[in-house]
A and B are shown apart, each in its own frame.
Chain A
């Protein structure tokens, strides 16, 4: 039934109406511009005057350019229209062609001056279209004087057209007398740009021929066009470009790859006009005044009151009157039957229309009559509508007859309106028509009644090339539908409905879409309002449908959206055929393309609608698969057609699917079994997303590629990587996250290795960094899992993977990875591998053996670093040694337990001591000293060369890549300290706080000896520090542990005495290990500190011995014992030719004498008193004798 109605409607209503409108529009097309100007400027004559002055100037320039162009093209003889003395223009380039004849279907526009007036056939001036008076120096028109233009055919006879009288609010300014006889009509206002389809008519406008350069200076500055970008200059020539070029004296040189100028000048875009001719993509948007500017201009003068009172109030009154009439017809009351009401409606309508037609003969009522005529037609239309539609006024029962009547009235109204060629009048008529539908009761008839309106509106708009009327009709159609019939779309309420509301709405959409496609085909999609038809149609159709979307049926809306998307897919194909993407400048923005009729808008809508439909229809895996399918369709199509926009849409849909995947990850906790593995329920769907994302990235061409290809690859692969990262994190336990991500990173790196897709490498770096950070956190700061395999999987696997990767990147071919990436990536892989290995050992070994394990790792990586010249591993060696040292401090000195009588402390620390010593020796071997024989701690005389002191500088003899640098060598000394520290601590914790002094003293002597012979200043410095600590400990504890009791009660007294003796002896040995000051062979290798400590060792030893004697010898014989000690020191000093010994003895002797005199004399009693005096006196005498006896030798010693 619906189809029958549609066919009937098309055959009976639309086709005749279209024929009539088409014919009328043909006849009146040439007056279109004049009518528009007259209608829009009727009440603002003053503004028109200003515009006309400017128009004259522009018109004159345009004429000059046209003449120049004609001369260059050979259409005008040389010298014509050119000032005397001006050089002849260069001939047109070869291959150029003259301007083509006008389109056969479109007759050339006749000269407007030749148009007779329709009223009485009497030519009369058109108000508002003022004739331009000839300028004083203006020559006669070129057409009669010059040779005929070859490209301009004879003008056809044009039937007389009615001139629309435009009342003038103020008298026209006085014009020269010649103005009355000027054949020229006013050109189009300069502010109204010529549409693209009219552009080829420029050469065929040889009107207003006048002299060039004779115009008086314009009081109004002529705006200069802004400079255009280079991309625009490279595009096809538009009128502005041509004008600028014509003003320039230089000839037009075609750019490389561009057609010759003549070819471009033919139709301005080098294409034949007519159907399918597309506007130049770089044509600038129209620069005419907007409605707002027009309104402002009309209200700027004193005429605004006339405008409001004469025009607006008139139209408003007509609208109200028609509404009142509609209400009257719909109102039932007993005094008047339906025939009376209909008759009243017709009478009112005819009266209004007749009054309008009668009054329009008078100029002053031109505006006023618009409202009368519009209101009259609206009354007639609605009355015809009410004859069948309204119960109160129903005279015609047959819907077909009613519809025919309505169509006839609409056709008459529109035909009448079109006679005025006024878009505002037509808009008013259509607005009233739609208003009647809005206020009428809902019925099949009312639904169908919108179709004739729609058809006439679109056909007229198409023929008249109106921009605003279709947009207004579009808005009115959907508003009408939304207000009156919105719910019909989903639930047709009408019983025995002839046509469903859904069909009517679809017809609306189809009609506007077809109109838009026709506009696209005609190439008129660059003007302002017409560009809005497509988006407004889409918004209106979908919006109206969604306004009343049913809530009960879950599938209705998805199906509707899917079908709409399918319809837009068809539209996409048609648009792509009508306006191929190749016709656009590549620099044209996508929005501009879509508004200009490209396929981008339609395909975007398709993607959006399909995506929403999928989202509403499916969930879970099906939805993911649906998104993927849609994305792949777009992407593959874009890839095959090389359309970046399609690929972009594909990526966006894929990203939407990925977002849904993330949503699933967050919200769905359910698990499922697949292939015997327990995983999250969404894992298969996300796995599909990940795989497809990577495949798409791999399907795209690798580098070198277009920029968008790289971005597309990154769009797919980055999303897939993110999904994979989160998927792994959600499915696996925290302890193995790092390992899983690391495996993913290495897989990505492998892809980057084998293909020319650098984004995979960057993703590998990112995921690798994430894995490293996770491993750091998970394995260093989180508890290990309960399963024993977790450290192996979480750490041992990364060790293998990263170790292999580091080795491969460093020693094998680099594949497609940039060379600059190799060292850092290899080093970072090694970092992760070594770190994981150390962490693995921490988890696997008991606390006391972790340092041992790390030490073994240090040895191995150190040997690799030295042997393979791998600086990073040598750095790892340093780090591993530092960690080993720290770990030993934390765990190995408090280690309890023993094996075969040896404490575990000793068993674990001693090998570590050996480790540090070995590594120091190994480093010394790899980094030979700059000066042969020079020790590490002893700088050569004059210091190191400045260049070698810089960090990173390779050492002499070790300039191979990866060899040790001076910075590494300069830090070697640090590894001399851990062995000493560990040895000292080992003594401390093995022998206690007091008993360890023996070990420290022996260690001091050993360090001095080694440091002296190996010329290692750091060892000697350690010995000095250790000596001071030993002395302080001895001085503070007196070799007495707390458990020791003085005197004979101490079972360990002998041990203590031995310990004291050992310390004293070690100090003296250390003293004699240091060279004497006077040794000239060692000049330059010793520091002043060394010389001072030679004496310090002696003094410290003497003091310790003195105090030991103080504690062990009874107070009665203390002076004697000290005297003997002093004598021994002096004797040793003489024998060994050591002055510190002698001075120590001398000082002690004096102290002893002082003690005798001050303390012993008072406190000692009996025999001890004189014995002390006698013995000490004898000692002093003996010493004095010795000094006298060996005076000469002493002088030599001094």
Chain B
């Protein structure tokens, strides 16, 4: 037994020391040290539990679309719409993306707001809004497809309706209770209580909003690639966004004592919990990981870039330029 134990100790030490040597000799990259892993695991679990409730209180696609149209109608009154040719162009590009969504029952509608801000957003029920500034910011139709794919993914992955889902349930329950038990007071109390619950739920689930952005990035990339657009377009547009709008903050200094390391880890974990969007470099990193993970599927294909189409606001579905510089081959 003692010999076995001795061998076990030696093997274990060899394993530990050997792994350290191998890691030291290998290709290393600067790695973050903090509670990201633990926080991510916790947010995963929280999201899984939240999904149980979400799936139990699903609203139908038709109801979701009615809600989206209602909100979009208000948005249309707030913002002026862009020229019709721009609206048509974006709509045609968007329609080419929605063929591969998971929820085909959703009818997507694309709007171009006449605003110079570089932004885009989605509303429940397939209402996709993109600003004129974003339309000018992208350089190719593939990049536009990546942006639209990201917003479509938010709808397709139910990120948008999830924000209103419990609110709708509360409204339904309150209305039903009011009808059954009578009186506005009952309905008011249930609705108020439910709203408080919804608010608490939003605060609690705020931690994994960044994860939703990552998911939308990934599925948006998949939708664009499935539609035949350049897989590099998403990373290009995010890189340019980071160049122009990123903070360009100096990388955090490597902590030189354990206490500073732990303090920095706590600071990072606590600060990032309430961020709705992850840092752009991290999104870029994830997108590259997705591309690497799907490298096998991309091999042998050619994907459209569409510089000409964007310049002349003519979608690829109308006219596809067959020049070499409009395609990327893998």
**CA of A985 to CA of B41, assembled, Å:** 8
**CB of A586, distance to nearest CB on chain B (Å):** 56
Which B residues between 6 and 60 are near A, CB-CB below 8 angstroms? 8-9, 12-13, 15-20, 22-38, 40-41, 44-45, 47-49, 51-52, 55
Contacting residue for A784 out of B9, B34, B256, B294, CB 8 A = B256
Residue among A894, A910, A921, A1051 making CB contact with B32, cutoff 8 Å? A894
Residues A904-920 near B (CB distance < 8 A): 904, 907-908, 910-912, 914-915, 918
Contact B31 A895 (CB under 8 A): yes
A554 to B59, CA, bound (A): 99
How many angstroms between the C-alpha atoms of A611 and B152 in the bound complex?
A: 90
**A908–B23 CB distance below 8 A:** yes
Q: Is A782 an interface residue (CB 8 A)?
A: yes
The minimal Cβ–Cβ distance linking A390 to chain B, given in whole angstroms, is: 86
B31 touches A853 (CB 8 A): no
Out of A783, A848, A855, A1029, name the residue touching B16 (CB < 8 Å): A855
Which of these binds chain B: A131-139, A559-567, A568-576, A885-893?
A885-893
B222 within 8 A of A: yes
A427 contacts B by Cβ under 8 Å: no
Which B residue sits closest to A779, measured CB to CB? B257
CB <8 Å contact, A783 and B222:
no
> Across the interface, do B222 and A1045 meet the contact criterion of CB distance under 8 Å?
yes
Docked Cα-Cα span, A221 to B225, in Å, equals 121
**Nearest A residue (CB) for B215:** A1042
Contact B51 A1036, beta carbon cutoff 8 Å: yes
Q: Is the CB of A859 within 8 A of B52?
A: no
Q: In the bound complex, do residue A910 and residue B257 qualify as a contact, i.e. CB atoms below 8 Å apart?
A: no
B148 CB to nearest chain A CB (Å): 16
CB distance from A905 to the nearest CB of B (A): 9
A863 within 8 A of B: yes
Is A842 among interface residues, defined by CB-CB distance under 8 A? yes
The reply to whether B27 and A780 contact each other, CB–CB distance below 8 Å, is no
Q: Does A846 contact B (CB under 8 A)?
A: yes
Q: Mark A836-848, 1 if CB is under 8 A from B, else 0.
A: 0001001001111
Cβ-defined contact, B218 with A1042, below 8 A: yes
Tell me the complex Cα distance, A1041–B216, Å: 11
Who on chain B is nearest to A1046 by CB? B102
B48/A1033 in contact, CB under 8 A: yes
**A1043 with B219: CB separation less than 8 A:** yes
Specify which chain B residues have a CB less than 8 angstroms from the CB of A900 in the assembled complex.
22, 26
Q: Please judge, given known A-B contacts A915-B16, A1043-B218, whether A899 and B257 are in contact too, CB under 8 Å.
A: no
Q: CA–CA, A336 to B223, complex, Å?
A: 137
- A328 to B8 alpha-carbon distance, docked (Å): 117
Q: CA of A972 to CA of B29 in the docked complex: distance in angstroms?
A: 36
B247: CB under 8 A from chain A? no
Q: Verify if A1032 is at the interface (C-beta below 8 Å from B).
A: yes
The answer, among A782, A848, A912, for a CB contact under 8 Å with B257, is: A782
Q: Is the pair A985, B22 in contact by a Cβ cutoff of 8 Å?
A: no
| B49 in complex: contacting residue of A855, A856, A910, A1032, CB < 8 Å | A1032
Please determine whether A1033 and B44 come into contact, CB atoms closer than 8 angstroms. yes
Whether the pair A1036, B259 counts as a contact (CB closer than 8 A) is no
Contact A910 B226 (CB under 8 A): no
Q: Which residues of chain B in 256-296 are interfacial with respect to chain A, using CB atoms and an 8 Å cutoff?
A: 256-261, 265, 290, 293-294, 296
The answer to whether B26 and A783 have CB atoms under 8 Å apart is no
CB pair A918–B16 under 8 Å, yes or no, is: no
Partner pick for A1035 among B15, B28, B51, CB 8 A cutoff: B51
Question: Assuming the A-B contacts A859-B9, A899-B26, A1032-B49, are A847 and B31 also in contact, with contact meaning beta carbons closer than 8 angstroms in the complex?
Answer: yes
How many residues of chain A have a CB within 8 Å of chain B? Answer: 62
* Residues of chain B contacted by A852 (CB below 8 angstroms): 16, 19-20, 23
User: With an 8 A cutoff between CB atoms, is B100 at the interface?
Assistant: yes
- Closest residue of chain A to B28, judged by CB? A897
Q: Known contacts A847-B31, A898-B27, A1042-B157; is A988 also within 8 Å of B55 by CB?
A: no
Q: Does A896 contact B (CB under 8 A)?
A: yes
A517 beta carbon closer than 8 Å to chain B = no
Inter-chain contacts of B55 with A (CB < 8 A): 1035-1036
Given the interface pairs A784-B257, A859-B13, A911-B19, the reply to whether A897 lies near B29 with Cβ below 8 Å is: yes
Q: Do most interface residues of chain A lie in helix, strand or loop, or is the interface mixed? A: helix
> Whose C-beta in chain B lies nearest to the C-beta of A849?
B20
With contacts A783-B257, A911-B16, A1043-B294 taken as known, whether A1032 is within 8 angstroms of B36 at the C-beta atoms is no
Q: Are A1035 and B52 in contact (CB under 8 A)?
A: yes
Asked whether, in the complex, the Cβ of A918 is within 8 Å of the Cβ of B8, the reply is: yes
Whether A1032 lies near B51 (C-beta < 8 A) is yes
For the complex, give the distance between the alpha carbons of A1040 and B102 in Å: 10
Is B23 a contact partner of A1049 (Cβ separation < 8 A)? no
In chain A, residues 899-944, which have Cβ atoms closer than 8 Å to a Cβ of chain B? 899-900, 904, 907-908, 910-912, 914-915, 918, 921-922, 925
Within the assembled complex, what's the spacing in Å between the Cα atoms of A846 and B265?
17
**Least Cβ distance of B9 to chain A in Å?**
6
Is A1044 positioned at the interface, with any CB of B under 8 Å from its CB?
Answer: yes
Contact across chains for B222 and A925 when beta carbons are under 8 A apart: no
Residue A1029 contacts which of B1, B33, B48 (CB distance < 8 angstroms)? Answer: B48
Contact with B along A876-890 (1 / 0, CB 8 A): 000000000000011
**Residue A973 interfacial (CB < 8 Å):** no
Contact with A along B63-80 (1 / 0, CB 8 A): 000000000000000000
Residues of B with C-beta under 8 A to A925 = 1, 5
Asked whether any CB of chain A lies closer than 8 Å to the CB of B297, the reply is yes
A1023-1054 interface code vs B (CB 8 A; 1 in, 0 out)? 00000010011011000111111110101100
Given A842-B258, A925-B5, A1049-B100: A1043 in contact with B22 (beta carbons within 8 A): no
Determine how close the nearest CB of chain A comes to the CB of B244; give it in whole angstroms: 26
How far, in whole Å, are A1052 and B297 apart by their CA atoms in the complex?
8
Inter-subunit contact B19/A1046 (CB<8 Å): no
Cβ of A490 within 8 Å of any chain B Cβ, yes or no, is no
**Bound state CA distance, A1044 and B30, in angstroms?**
29
Q: Which of A780, A856, A894, A896 contacts B37 (CB 8 A)?
A: A894
Cα-based distance from A1033 to B258 in the complex (angstroms): 35
Instruction: Tell me whether A856 and B52 are in contact in the complex, defined as CB-CB below 8 angstroms, given that A897-B27, A1042-B153 are known contacts.
Output: no
Tell me the complex Cα distance, A898–B100, Å. 35
- Asked if B214 is at the interface of the complex by the 8 Å CB criterion, the answer is yes
Give every chain B residue within 8 A of A899 (Cβ-Cβ). Answer: 22-23, 25-27
B20 touches A1036 (CB 8 A): no
Among candidates B37, B100, B257, residue contacting A989 with C-beta atoms closer than 8 Å: B37
The answer to whether the Cβ of B221 comes within 8 Å of any Cβ in the partner chain is yes
A781 in contact (CB, < 8 A)? yes
A993 at the interface (CB under 8 A from B): yes
Residue of B nearest to A1043 (CB): B218
Query: In the complex, what residues of A have CB within 8 A of residue B100's CB?
Result: 1045-1047, 1049
Partner pick for B36 among A853, A894, A911, A1047, CB 8 A cutoff? A894
Find chain B residues with CB under 8 A from A921 CB: 8
Docked complex Cα distance between A915 and B47 (Å): 32
Bound-complex Cα distance A682 to B155 (A) = 76
Known interface pairs A1036-B55, A1043-B222, A1045-B100; A911-B258 also in contact (CB < 8 Å)? no
B23 touching A848, Cβ below 8 Å: yes
Distance in angstroms between the alpha carbons of A911 and B14 in the assembled complex: 9
Q: Which residues of B contact A859 (CB under 8 A)?
A: 9, 12-13, 16
- Cα A1040 to Cα B153 in complex, Å, equals 13
- Residues in A with CB closer than 8 Å to B217 are 1042
In addition to A839-B258, A993-B44, A1045-B223, 12 A-B residue pairs with Cβ atoms within 8 Å of each other are A847-B33, A859-B12, A859-B13, A890-B37, A891-B31, A904-B28, A911-B16, A988-B40, A993-B211, A1032-B48, A1033-B48, A1042-B218
In the assembled complex, 11 residue pairs joining A and B whose CB atoms fall closer than 8 Å, in A order, are: A783-B260, A852-B16, A896-B31, A898-B26, A899-B23, A911-B15, A911-B19, A918-B8, A1035-B55, A1042-B222, A1045-B226
Which 7 A/B pairs are nearest by Cβ-Cβ distance?
Answer: A899-B26, A1051-B297, A1036-B51, A1042-B215, A893-B37, A897-B28, A781-B259
Q: Identify the A interface with B (CB < 8 A).
A: 779-784, 839, 842, 845-849, 852-853, 855-856, 859, 863, 889-891, 893-900, 904, 907-908, 910-912, 914-915, 918, 921-922, 925, 985, 988-989, 993, 1029, 1032-1033, 1035-1036, 1040-1047, 1049, 1051-1052
